[in-house]
Structure 1
């Protein structure tokens, strides 16, 4: 008899914990739902990211391909140092406040750098965040789109080492930049100094 009482008691306690757990889970769901509604202002998809639209240049940006590589390089101090050097590089190439990128719904894009507008086509994979730009001359540039779900009107285009050098050479040649050699040298030294470094720039939606 005592054994049955103990078993029944244990089952009752287990059920109590189960119901409490369900209630807590429901409370957490309510809290998370409330946060989501606050972020999106109660509108479904309001915070959804889309590359389509017009974007203006905001600042240089960099990213290490892993937290381990960032730590080895010196953390945030290294990132700040890289971005300071990138400011000079991008400024010489014409990436200033007047620089814009427009990505159209039909897969075409236009970019304006230093007052000169170029156009072409693009493909964007939202699952991998890989972006490919193809100019009318057939030149292709692959970038990684970095963005924060809480800031859908901000994104960065980041390029791997070999793509950065190719991009700088192309832009410098097209704009007739007299300082393209020094820019290439600076970019090359940065890429050689840090492993797993991606260089690029941040854009804000207009």
Structure 2
């Protein structure tokens, strides 16, 4: 069954011109992380439970997931997500996001504390298990994000449409093709979420 799913994923990627360098995508899929991401998204691991969210989660790498009602598009999206994560990594490194300065702690009393690239953000949170939506409410900022269960932890992902608009503008000004690729890929799906892979 896994071979069939991966076959559909590869076929979907071949039919999309925006997938870019196929060898890079297949290379990512053959390592542990890529294969786990592709299989788990298509098959569907158990959702994150509220009690399992309560912990300190540290950044382990870029996270990305596509949303789509079409199974084939979803499979292709996860193949593309592996490529996007690879392209996000140097950008994250440029702004100095690391395990030591990027984390989030969810407490049982409904409060959270976090840092992103060393910048603190804390307040109250609510978590809807059905949609996996986390609402983070701080003093000056309220933002929605989504939890996604991974084999070795969770991903904290944000709707990327507004972020992609900023990235595309930056791409036009700087000529950064990696950022432009992120924007181009997002046009092939109903939506895309980007953020952080996290582990305890």
Q: TM-score range by the shorter chain?
A: 0.5 to 0.7
Instruction: Please show how residues 184-199 of structure 1 align to structure 2 within 5 Å.
Output: 187=179, 189-194=181-186, 195=189, 196-199=191-194
Partner of 1:125: 128
Partner of 2:115: 112
Partner of 1:96: 98
CA drift of 1:185 comes to 8.9
Equivalent residues of 2:155, 2:198 under 8 A apart: yes
Q: CA RMSD in A?
A: 3.3
CA drift of 1:204 comes to 0.7
Equivalent residues of 1:62, 1:82 under 8 A apart: yes
Q: Which runs of 5+ in 1 are unaligned?
A: 1-46, 169-180
Structure 2 CA distance for partners of 1:166 and 1:79, relative to 1, 3 Å: closer
Partner of 1:173: none
Distance 2:182 2:91 in 1: 11
TM-score of the aligned structures, taking structure 1 as reference length: 0.57
Distance 2:135 2:165 in 1: 14
Number of matched pairs: 142
Equivalent residues of 1:142, 1:163 under 8 A apart: no
Q: Greater shift after overlay, 85-94 or 58-67?
A: 85-94
Q: Any idea what SS the aligned residue of 2:145 has?
A: strand
Q: Which runs of 5+ in 2 are unaligned?
A: 1-47, 168-172
